[in-house]
Structure 1
Amino acid sequence: MSAPILSVRDLRTSFFGQRGEVQAVRGVSFDVHPGEILGIVGESGSGKSITCMSILRLLKASGRIMGGEAHFDGQDLMALDQDDLRDIRGNKIGMIFQDPMTSLNPTLTVGEQVIETILRHRKVTRAQARARAIELFELVRIPSAAERLKSYPHEFSGGMRQRVMIAIALSCDPKLLIADEPTTALDVTIQRQILLLLKDLQKRLGMAVILITHDLGVIAEVTDRIVVMYGGLVMETGPVRDLFATPKHPYTRGLLASVPDLRDDTHRRLTPIPGSPPDMAHPPAGCPFTPRCPHAMHQCAAALPPLFGEGQGARCWLHHPEAPKVTGLNEVAA
């Protein structure tokens, strides 16, 4: 496998407010390789979006990166000054934010917003930037591309606004695209269209993609590898096929059990994960999933486990050589 285009190591991010320090990201590490789609999945508050906002250093005033490295294309993003970082954001790394209605400027036409991004990072004339904007609108399948440049965000549907956001993110041919919940608030038909569009664009342009979502159906549809996050930590990581076929962490197993299977006609009840996520203002010393885990042991609450395994790794004490056997997690069913 080729060298990673993005390598994140021990990334830690906290927010400071009336409650003191809230440890949103607590030592996250992962790689993204050229031409692959990496999915980051987890429930709300798991730290997945904050991880990617930290990589681009787009945190709110109360947020602070406490440590770690993020090497992109040979540069540590954590060590760059703001001018160098601005040359990378929107240029070599594109970003699609969660809500296109609040991400787009309502007072400017969508064409102007694409054009100004191109002019910021490319030495081209305004006419060339406009031609590129039309080309991008055609690429993301916006009908009547030249005419729609003159439209304002409120004149587009939710799915079309998301296509505009994708066009802006792709305007400078990024090597890496970060898509943060790109199908939020869209109906299922439009969701599928956007996901298939992203996958098609990734193949045609050869870029790497990080897809952030809480929807395992989205992950299964388009990604190559998965990072499962919980409590600001990577709990499991591996190829999408392996992780869906043989989940090694009880949290991943719980996520999969809570998703309805439309192919199952037995009308079985969904199995929810009991309890609540941890309070990150007072993170536990051990595994953050311990209070909700059906297989928790004394060791789980006492100390945080490492990530056991190579290709498919799981942060769970059940994968210690001396751990008791649990069918389906650390022991193959007979």
Structure 2
Amino acid sequence: MTELLNVTGLTTSFHTSRGRVQAVRGVDLTVKPGEILGIVGESGSGKSVTCMSILRLLKRQGRIEGGSAVFDGRDLMELDEDALTDLRGNEIGVIFQDPMSSLNPTLTVGEQVIETVLRHRNIGRRAARARAVELFEMVRIPSAATRVDAYPHEFSGGMRQRVMIAIALACEPKLLIADEPTTALDVTIQRQILSLIKELQGRLGMAVILITHDLGVIAETADRVMVMYGGMVMEEAPVAEIFALPRHPYTRGLMASIPDPRTAGEGRLSPIPGTPPDMSDPPKGCPFAPRCPVAMRVCAEEMPRLYEAGGPANRSRCWLMDEAAPARAPYNTEDAA
């Protein structure tokens, strides 16, 4: 299947008073039409910056220093600002982390949908308002015909997130980027929002990049998972396979630190020791080496490549995948439990 998005060697840094912060370091990723790619990792791992770099929506200090991002045959790094503006909100929709800060408090929520539709569709204002009502009904906002005239502060957190989804889907994009769409929502509302995104993805046939730090969200929603750490891809695999046999020690550490309701009260969680690397001075070897329970000398001295790990769709950036590495089950053996 032809890839909808193909990102190669994406490199982004922020130039601050502390110096150059290397937020994204040579990221490769692909997304197929209709696929849900989950990007997971700790805060500061480069998840959101990767996607904001693809859209070229970085803050003033941010600079894309290398790489390409080919979307539907066009390299987004080569487009001028007018072409990018035509594409954002039209062919690529975005759900930002915090709906309260992303929505304009001085405009009604309906007006914010209407202006998106008018920007990208050759229709009149009445038709754009009807589209806003239709979208509110699609994302299951009660009394949609009257709620379009409400302001953001009149909505709960979950309803504001539904408004953000309506804006993102206003022009039926080919790709939806959802950046931590359930942050700060309670568990019940989180499940509703995730179910809604998955339902609409199936109905509209769009691809989705879902950014989160929650592996539970990934397990329920994604088709394929990309694990990031230190601005790099550490592991990538289909969702069922990565949960059945995670190859990278970092992925295993993430999974071990999550409470399992099936074993509640049976022992303690296993947090990952140490802290993430300082990206103004990242280590020359594997960024996870200082925290890794199975690190070898080479891990601190040289960056591992992304090895094929159990199949062409599975990759792991770990020296334990190398043919010369010692057999340290269950990281590089097929028969590990």
* Pairwise CA RMSD: 0.8
Residue in structure 1 matched with residue 96 of structure 2 by the alignment = 97
SS at match of 1:253: helix
| Aligned: 1:324 with 2:306 | no
Question: C-alpha deviations, 1:212-268, integer Å up to 9, x for none?
Answer: 000000000100000000000000001000001100000000000000110124622
Question: C-alpha deviations, 1:133-165, integer Å up to 9, x for none?
Answer: 011000000011010001000000000000000
Residue in structure 2 matched with residue 210 of structure 1 by the alignment = 209
Residue in structure 1 matched with residue 56 of structure 2 by the alignment = 57
265-274 vs 244-253, greater mean Cα deviation = 265-274
SS at match of 2:307: coil
State how far apart, in whole Å, the 1-side matches of 2:32 and 2:133 are: 30
Residue in structure 1 matched with residue 105 of structure 2 by the alignment = 106
User: TM-score, normalized by length of structure 2?
Assistant: 0.98
* Structure 2 counterparts to residues 51-90 of structure 1, below 5 A: 51-90=50-89
State how far apart, in whole Å, the 2-side matches of 1:118 and 1:14 are: 33
Deviation at 1:17, TM superposition (A): 1.1
* Structure 2 counterparts to residues 286-301 of structure 1, below 5 A: 286-301=285-300
Point out where structure 2 has 5 or more consecutive residues left out of the alignment.
Answer: none
Residue in structure 2 matched with residue 10 of structure 1 by the alignment = 9
Q: Give, as a single letter, the amino acid of the residue that structure 2 aligns with 1:39.
A: G
User: TM-score, normalized by length of structure 1?
Assistant: 0.99
Q: Give, as a single letter, the amino acid of the residue that structure 2 aligns with 1:323.
A: A
Q: Give, as a single letter, the amino acid of the residue that structure 1 aligns with 2:46.
A: G
Residue in structure 2 matched with residue 227 of structure 1 by the alignment = 226
Q: Give, as a single letter, the amino acid of the residue that structure 1 aligns with 2:314.
A: Q
Deviation at 1:327, TM superposition (A): 1.4
Residue in structure 2 matched with residue 147 of structure 1 by the alignment = 146
Deviation at 1:333, TM superposition (A): 3.5
Deviation at 1:321, TM superposition (A): 0.3
Point out where structure 1 has 5 or more consecutive residues left out of the alignment.
Answer: none
State how far apart, in whole Å, the 2-side matches of 1:22 and 1:92 are: 31
| Aligned: 1:277 with 2:276 | yes
Deviation at 1:194, TM superposition (A): 0.1
Q: Give, as a single letter, the amino acid of the residue that structure 2 aligns with 1:142.
A: I
Q: Give, as a single letter, the amino acid of the residue that structure 2 aligns with 1:324.
A: P
State how far apart, in whole Å, the 2-side matches of 1:280 and 1:155 are: 40
State how far apart, in whole Å, the 2-side matches of 1:304 and 1:78 are: 27
State how far apart, in whole Å, the 2-side matches of 1:326 and 1:244 are: 19
